[in-house]
Amino acid sequence: PAKKKAAPVVKKRPTVGPYAKEPKFLEEQRVLLLEERAIYQGQAEDLRAEADSLALEREPGDVQFDEESGEGGTVTVDRERDLALSAQALNAVEEIDEALRKVERKTYGGCERCFEPIPKARLRALPYARLCVACKSGGLSRR
């Protein structure tokens, strides 16, 4: 006779976060998230302004030369780097905004993959973490 395989246990996403009953912790995290958001927003704006100023300073196709390597990096390369870093900072702002929404809904602090609580130490170090350490180290994915 063929053996029946047991159905895999699928965890349901909880409707409240593991720290929903800890308003003091949630408030501390909200303040931390707002501070991080201000930093990343400022970086994004500064890098964008730098990229815009680089575009205005040079003529299209201008190349900088230096003594060591001959043809140096173009303004375009510097501008693209600044734009990429600005986009990364804006992505962090979006992640922080999502974490702030979770704090408001009291769903903050649960791993999005295994639904286990993310340890407070991890959340204090990276307040917009979406995954616990075990799930994060299991592959390259979101924070």
Identify the pLDDT of residue 70: 44
Q: Which residue carries 């973490």 as its tokens?
A: 129
| 8 A C-beta contact, residue 109 and residue 122 | no
Examine the pLDDT at 6 and tell me if it is beyond 80. no
Tokens describing residue 22 = 């800890």
Tell me the mean pLDDT in the region 78-107: 95
pLDDT class for 134, splitting at 50, 70, 90? very high
- Reading phi first (left if > 0) and then psi (alpha if -120 to 50, else beta), residue 141 is in beta
Identify the pLDDT of residue 140: 52
pTM of structure = 0.76
Q: Which helix (H) or strand (E) holds 46?
A: helix 23-57
